[in-house]
Amino acid sequence: MSYAERFLRRDGPLLVMIVVAIISMLPFFVISPVLDAVSTTIQKWAVALVGVTFIIGIINLTQVHLTTLRRRIRGQWPFSIVLIILLYTTLIAGFVYKPIYNQIFQYVYTPINGAVYAMLAFFIFSATYRALGIKSVGSFLFTLLVFIFSMRNCPFIAALIPQLEPVYYWVLKIPVAGANRGMIVAASIGLILYAFRMFIGKERAQLGMAGEV
């Protein structure tokens, strides 16, 4: 591999990533209007790139499901029809006529989303019981907390058992808050170490160069 090819494939993207990351982080430590302006511009570029990736995602999704329709893959093509119709109906309504988009969001998406989360709660209960089996004190406490948190969010259960409310807030503010802060600290340290490895060129998976030296 020549130097030009290696620079385009490996060193160039790595250099761009390091420079952009440093410029984005410096305004948190250094007071400079120039750095602030450059960092803000980079953040705007990132937002624009995210929008472009959404467009690419829509195109890719359409191609995949049109292929499914052309091949008439058994058990899949009817769902591809529904997905494409709903995708472009929602997309066009969002650009052309907002009231229809709001109705789709309120009367179609929101109820389906709620139904999916409701079913997910039962799957979580079932998976928790199968995985833990309530064979120890820790697994019993974990299952009990899952039950309390889930039941507290059911209006009729909360009305029938008002004693759940203080237990819920005590668990949320003391044990859960403490564990959450510990996980945030650990994740932050891990993120800093991962960023350092990226800066020194040890991590290249995000550039599609996993395993390359």
**How do residues 24-76 score in pLDDT, each as one tens digit?**
888 888 888 888 898 889 889 988 988 899 899 999 999 999 998 888 888 88
Look at residue 55 and tell me if it is in a domain: yes
pLDDT digits (tens, 9 = 90+) for 125-145: 777 667 666 677 777 777 777
Is residue 122 one of the residues assigned to a domain? no
In a domain, 7, yes or no: yes
Is residue 3 in some structural domain? Answer: yes
Domain for residue 69, yes or no?
Answer: yes
Contact assessment for residue 66 and residue 84, using Cβ atoms and an 8 Å cutoff: yes
Residue 192 lies in a domain: no
Range of the structural domain that residue 23 is part of: 1-96
Alpha-helical runs (H) found in the chain: 3-6, 12-25, 33-71, 77-96, 98-104, 110-132, 137-152, 155-160, 164-171, 177-199
**In total, how many domains does the chain have?**
1
pLDDT at 107: 87
User: What is the arithmetic mean of pLDDT over 151-162?
Assistant: 74
Query: What is residue 161's DSSP assignment?
Result: -
Residue 67: strand, helix, or coil: helix
Query: Does 140 map to a domain?
Result: no
Q: Decide if 185 is inside a domain.
A: no
The answer to whether the beta carbons of residues 87 and 61 sit under 8 Å apart is yes
**Least reliable range by pLDDT among 106-110, 142-146, 186-190, 203-207:** 203-207
Residues 6+ apart with CB under 8 A from 10: 204, 207, 209, 212
Can you give the pTM of this predicted structure? Answer: 0.56
Query: Which among 107, 78, 102, 77 is positioned nearest to 90, based on CA atoms?
Result: 102
